[in-house]
Structure 1
């Protein structure tokens, strides 16, 4: 029996949360190496499928198909044509190519893309169509730096943050991958009640419900690798069955927001996700909560939603210190000064971009 192909894989994650993505891989029994922008790892089809199915903080899983030195367009076409593109494109389909060039003789991205197309078509017996958007089909990522070319194929298709449950959005929603990163970074034990007092359309509570019940984020979506020539449906279905056996009861999760419109949206999104979360219209001080809790939230800080941010953060801190006999908290703030207004003894865990705004993640663990 021929040995299984070992792929060089790359989990793309937002700068600032790569370590969290690596910890997720480790929990799947996969060893990874953190680099800027993601995590490098190796594996066969099983690892490829598991990472797409289970990673909550990654944006996509890339397969490193080709790596070589190149200094001419003719050399680029020749080298590209030698790789087994028929695995990833067994039939004609729409494909998006993204190219970046840095410190190399080949610096014109459009010309590089044209030669990559030519090399792939030289190998295939059919033609591929140009896609306008990545979500139309498999995307190819070409990077040439210091005359070294790396070509990757996106195995995920649509970005992994698209779980399929966000049917209604409100103003300034946090991305699903970042919400999961906050929950994981908080150290939540999946048993203690989790509360989001600024829940908006419900992303943090819904992600917490998926984590708490051990439901894979990719359980209800399709992936680009399903159209590949080497797709193993037997293995994939077995991994789904294994995951389904591990689903547990939902821990107590609460979401509050002052906006009735936001709570309506949160309820619809939770229903689409198939999870059990308690959502309620409320403002500070929220009462009737358990004395011990994890609080994970993204307070409004006056960048995209106009509010008195200092007042919001001060009231938030006062509420935590008076409503609970014990609490663990993870929250976002764009500055250390605003975080200090809460009066909570916390430390900066990491920083990342949220909707184009640089924010810090603070925890009191």
Structure 2
């Protein structure tokens, strides 16, 4: 099967490296990584990839310039392996530089093709209902895919309490993976919010699959191999290990710390992370990795934001002899206010705001 790991623009290389660690070779393209595999690869990537958004199965690719041609060729897709008449289908369509451009009509024809092969499916009414089928036209080439993940992969299932403007779990994981941290030195997040970065760090350090405690769309497919899936889960559980270094989260908001503690417990890593209601704590380590998402945005006055970044940089220099710091900033000039001489590693969208991921090091 042709598969595609959807990855947020800016972190495709991180997803590619994750796939390599799983023994899967792929090709980076804008918006994700193309690779091949069977059901085992579908299950493994959904279970283990920390930075990806979804795993798509490419059902078929063909040229179509007329609706009759679209229906005829879409009927040849292997629908019976992925759809059943009792589960509704959620169709999504996009079209660029193609003769077939009306997305509503494209969806209607693909649904007709599915029904004409004998599957009496209904179209889902709600966003996360049923099996998601994605139809993409570009330069008259139609690619039809099935979403094997279901809900977005950042939804790990542990965030039961949220704070304002939380960082998505897959972006937090991407930041940690970029830092190179694997549990060898302490990790600190001084602006932890609802605890996403420390929790993702603990999941990584304990070798816990990010998808261990959630459901996936592929479980409802006709070709679902329950025995294989259970074996993969048992193998994953055997690989779990202890964390022997501090993973610390701090925040000035008491409610954020309460949320962090609860979320860590639900994630099963409560014993490996520590959260405290402090701003720039008086702690020091010989060697440390700091991964964090400082406050920014329209709600905060520019003067206040600059002061936060300045104090952050001062705190790092005063307390740590050797450090690797990875932080987000929507503005290069703001990042430089830290005085840490940071360089931008990549950039991506966080909550609708384009931010750079910056790195600063001292050895």
TM superposition score normalised by structure 2: 0.96
C-alpha distance in structure 2 between counterparts of 1:302 and 1:102, whole Å: 33
Q: Equivalent residue of 2:311, what SS?
A: helix
Q: Structure 1 residues 290-299 or 21-30, which shifts more?
A: 290-299
The alignment's C-alpha RMSD in Å is 1.2
State the shift of 1:213 in Å: 0.5
How many residues align? The count is 357
* 2:84–2:121 CA contact under 8 A, matched in 1: no
- Correspondence list, 1:162-177, <5 A: 162-177=155-170
Distance 2:284 2:315 in 1: 11
Alignment-derived partner of residue 314 in structure 1 = 310
**Higher mean displacement: 126-135 or 84-93:** 126-135
Question: How far apart are 1:305 and its partner, in Å?
Answer: 4.8
The equivalent of 2:210 in structure 1 is 217
Aligned counterparts, 1:252-331, within 5 A: 252-275=246-269, 276-284=272-280, 286-305=281-300, 308-331=304-327
The answer to whether 1:353 aligns with 2:349 is yes
Shift in alpha-carbon separation, 1:164–1:131, aligned structure 2, 3 A: same
Show the counterpart of 1:100.
Answer: 94
Report the CA distance between 1:290 and its aligned residue.
Answer: 2.8
* Secondary structure of the structure 1 residue equivalent to 2:56: strand
Distance (whole Å) between structure 1 residues aligned to residue 130 and residue 199 of structure 2: 28
Among candidates 46, 50, 53, match of residue 56 of structure 1: 50
Shift of 1:105: 1.0
- CA shift, 1:306, in A, is 5.3
1:28 and 2:26 aligned: no
Determine if contact 1:349/1:362 at 8 Å carries over to the other structure: yes
Q: Give the secondary-structure state (helix, strand or coil) at the position aligned to 2:285.
A: coil
State the match for 1:139 in structure 2: 132
Aligned with residue 237 of structure 2, among 244, 263, 278: 244
Aligned to 2:145: 152
Displacement of 1:134 after TM fit? 3.7
Runs (5+) with no aligned partner, structure 1: 1-6
Please tell me whether the aligned partners of residues 163 and 217 of structure 1 are also in contact (alpha carbons under 8 angstroms): yes
Q: Secondary structure at the match of 1:82?
A: coil
Q: Within 2, Cα distance between the matches of 1:75 and 1:193?
A: 59
Unaligned ranges ≥5, structure 2:
none
